[in-house]
Structure 1
Amino acid sequence: MDMIFFDSWQAVWRTGILGMLAYASLVVLLRISGRRTLSKMNAFDLVVTVALGSTLASVILSKSVTLSQGVVAFALLIGMQFIVTWTSVRVPWVRQIVTGEPALLFYQGQCLPTALKRARVTEEEIRAAVRSNGMASMDEAHAVVLETDGSFSVVPQGTSGEASSLSDVVRPGRYDRPNG
């Protein structure tokens, strides 16, 4: 019964020292790799962030994982993240695979049912996104976009035109792209 709450002081010290060293190693590697490594730009970035956290926990708590193995695992994950993001910035088809594309869910006063079903989003979630952007009425929203990171962007009325932020968002159905 004692093993559930306390094993030994050696195990406690090991956890503390490894935790500090592993955390410091991760911080150094993240600083070297740049800000993009922990960005929340898409699902791929989230997976890397979760994998880094899981690896950190394994290094700290598992007696079978050494600090050097953990640092190599951190470097591998960060290196792969760097390679994928570097490539996705330069090669369009890689970017498409890694990030996908934003989905237009609401446009010019109407929900787009096909897009809602494809994205598995309800009209209630669209209304919630509009409210969370400080709009009291759906009429105040020009468009709602499900971004590649899973967040909603609400574009207010009066923001159409050639320089519209919707220019890269494909509209499902009979139109290829929104007209501003």
Structure 2
Amino acid sequence: MDLVFFNGWGSLLRVLIIGLLAYATLVLFLRLSGNRTLSKMNAFDLIVTVALGSTLATVLLSKDVALADGAVALALLISLQFVITWTSVRFRWVRRLVTGEPLMLLYQGEFLSTPLQQARVTQDEVLAAIRSSGLNDVTAVEAVVLETDGSLSVVKRQAESRHSSLEGVRGPH
């Protein structure tokens, strides 16, 4: 078994220089693409973020990948993310395809078994979200919604309101 602890100063210098340049390139591209590129993440955003990190690591550590190649790969991933998010804002079918839709798991104190099974969420997890929101009684909850980013939103029961935050959520309302 061949253990290599030090490849020489040239290897370290390459990682340092390429690392600084690749990091600066990534930051520049992210600033150009806007705040949405790495905002609160749904599954699609997470995949792109992991791919960006993997690409950056490959550029840093692989002598076979030139900085220019890595910059093009980073630009491609960020551009694809921009195009997908741009179209998802304008076309509902793209948004549903990429991010899914929020799913109601509890409505007016009743657990909704089919959505719970679809989402693979337990009643205990819903109850934990209710407790985390500062409530201790299910009857004080209008609904619990599984958001597209995987978080659970608890909607407190209120007097009748003209505008509900539950519009657009799949479920019985």
TM-score, normalised via structure 2 length: 0.94
Percentage identity across aligned positions? 58
Which residue does 1:152 correspond to in 2?
Answer: 152
How far off is 1:46 after superposition?
1.1
Which residue does 2:37 correspond to in 1?
Answer: 37
How far off is 1:7 after superposition?
1.5
Distance 1:67 1:126, change over 3 A: same
Deviations 1:66-116 (A, max 9, x none): 110110011000111111111111122111111111000011011111110
Describe how 1:58-69 pairs up with structure 2 within 5 A. Answer: 58-69=58-69
Distance 1:102 1:38, change over 3 A: same
Which residue does 2:54 correspond to in 1?
Answer: 54
Aligned-partner residue type, residue 51 of structure 2: A
Q: Which runs of 5+ in 1 are unaligned?
A: none
- Tell me, yes or no, if the aligned pair for 1:88 and 1:94 is still in contact at 8 Å: yes
Which residue does 1:79 correspond to in 2?
Answer: 79
Partners in 2 of 1:159 and 1:66 — Cα distance? Answer: 62
Number of positions where the alignment pairs a residue of Structure 1 with one of Structure 2? 173
How far off is 1:170 after superposition?
1.4
Distance 1:15 1:140, change over 3 A: same
Deviations 1:128-180 (A, max 9, x none): 11112122222332211000111111111116533110011111xxx4xx1xx
Aligned-partner residue type, residue 134 of structure 2: G
Structure 1 SS opposite 2:4: helix
CA RMSD of aligned residues (A): 1.5
Structure 2 SS opposite 1:16: helix
TM-score, normalised via structure 1 length: 0.90
Deviations 1:46-83 (A, max 9, x none): 11111111111111111111110110011000111111
Which residue does 2:6 correspond to in 1?
Answer: 6
How far off is 1:41 after superposition?
4.0
1:99 paired with 2:102, answer: no
Higher RCO (C-alpha under 8 Å, 6+ residues apart): 2
Partners in 2 of 1:147 and 1:134 — Cα distance? Answer: 19
- Tell me, yes or no, if the aligned pair for 1:106 and 1:112 is still in contact at 8 Å: yes
Runs of 4+ in 1 over 6 A off after TM superposition: none
Q: Which runs of 5+ in 2 are unaligned?
A: none
Distance 1:2 1:143, change over 3 A: same
